[in-house]
Amino acid sequence: MKLVLSTRVFNHIEINCLSDLFPLIRKAGFRYLEVVDRTEFDDNVNILDDLREQSKEYGIEILNWHLIQYSPFQKSKEASRIAIDSMKYSMDKGSRIGAKNHVLHWYQRFLDKSYDIMWRDIVDEWADHAKKLGIRLLMETVPDKASNQRYVSSSEIINFVRSYLPEVLAMCIDVNHSNLQEKLPNVVHKVKDRLISLHISDNDGHEEKHWLPGQGLIDFTSFFESLEAIKFDGMLVMEVKKWCNQELGLAEIKSLYEFGISLLETKRPHPNTPLLIK
């Protein structure tokens, strides 16, 4: 598996300072990145070119781009159109940065089944745009306490994903989402034929937290055993939020790398995982 660092850990850092982190990321051991889209990129898209050049200079490959989180289900047709086009523009930005995989959230969480047809039409439009750009969309599993009514099981998502070509639409398991309603090994076996990437973080079993593995109660041992059973060899993305109470310098990023490597090698969190910040 490839150990990937999500820039979500740097969300508190000014967007124009991200490229300055590449020397530290490289020295810490990371070779792969997932870059999270932020609205600040729209103010200066040239920053994307800087990130792409820095990735080349320091030998860090940007494998994933996490698309903007903006539901297409809005109160008016005009607002919905803006949201749909914003997602396509987010794909344009991710393509510009060189990422071939774009992580997409599942937005059809309504009880009213009439939304299924709308959702299909929207994803069709996004999939067509992805084909033109030569990228692949990765549908992410969802948290259980969606604000708009219902939990969507991994079975429903994978059945939808399989209706598209695998080079256009595949899967990303977010363990911080899926463990809240399903057993992670079951999710792995359900989506195995389309599984490309993982989002790794921990929680308390009640709501998503994006804690460091070992700070919550996710059973990573059984999860990694299921990945081994399906011979998964994709991406493991460390998607923790700010997890230490000091600036993220070389030592902190290096420890995050070591926690990830330890998880891969031992199938359990690092024994020196720090306590939660109070």
SS3 for 39-58, per residue? HHHHHCCHHHHHHHHHHHHC
The range of the structural domain enclosing residue 85 comes to 2-266
Q: Is 102 a domain residue?
A: yes
CATH code of the domain containing 74: 3.20.20.150
Q: Is 44 a domain residue?
A: yes
Decide: 266 and 39 in contact? Cβ < 8 Å: no
pLDDT bucket at 275, cuts 50 / 70 / 90: confident
Higher pLDDT, 246 or 159: 159
DSSP for 7-48, written as a single string: GGGGTTS-GGGGGGGHHHHHHHT--EEEEEP-GGGGG-THHH
Q: What whole-number percentage of the chain has pLDDT above 70?
A: 96
- Give the lowest-confidence range in 60-69, 164-173, 233-242: 233-242
Higher pLDDT, 12 or 211: 211
pLDDT bucket at 145, cuts 50 / 70 / 90: low
Number of H helices, E strands in the chain: 9, 8
Helix, strand, or coil (residue 116): helix
Q: Is 274 a domain residue?
A: no
Identify the residue whose tokens are 């792969």. Answer: 32
- The confidence score (pLDDT) of residue 245 equals 61
Tokens of 94: 């991710």
Average pLDDT on 127-154 reads 90
Q: Is 187 a domain residue?
A: yes
Q: Is 144 a domain residue?
A: yes
Q: How far apart are CA 161 and CA 139, in angstroms?
A: 8
Average pLDDT on 4-20 reads 92
Distance from CA of residue 55 to its chain's centroid?
19
pLDDT tens for 169-213 read: 999 999 999 999 999 999 999 999 999 999 999 999 999 999 999
Average pLDDT on 7-32 reads 93
- The confidence score (pLDDT) of residue 209 equals 92
Indicate if the pLDDT at residue 278 is higher than 90. Answer: no
The CB density around residue 275, as the number of other CB atoms within 10 Å, is 7
Task: Name, in order, each residue with C-beta under 8 angstroms of 158's C-beta and a sequence gap of 6 or more.
Answer: 171, 190, 191, 194
Decide: 64 and 237 in contact? Cβ < 8 Å: yes
Indicate if the pLDDT at residue 146 is higher than 80. Answer: no
Mean pLDDT of the chain: 94
pLDDT bucket at 116, cuts 50 / 70 / 90: very high
- The confidence score (pLDDT) of residue 276 equals 78
Q: Which of 218, 185, 187 is nearest to 200 (CA)?
A: 218
Q: Is 261 a domain residue?
A: yes
Average pLDDT on 36-57 reads 95
H-state helical runs in 98-199: 114-133, 154-161, 175-178, 184-191
Taking 3-state DSSP, the helix, strand and coil percentages for the chain, each rounded to the nearest 5, stand at 45, 15, 40
Tokens of 58: 């320091």
Q: Which of 95, 207, 204 is nearest to 151 (CA)?
A: 207
35 bridge partner residues: 65
- The confidence score (pLDDT) of residue 84 equals 98
Indicate if the pLDDT at residue 42 is higher than 70. Answer: yes
Q: Is 151 a domain residue?
A: yes
Domain count, the chain: 1
Q: Is 276 a domain residue?
A: no
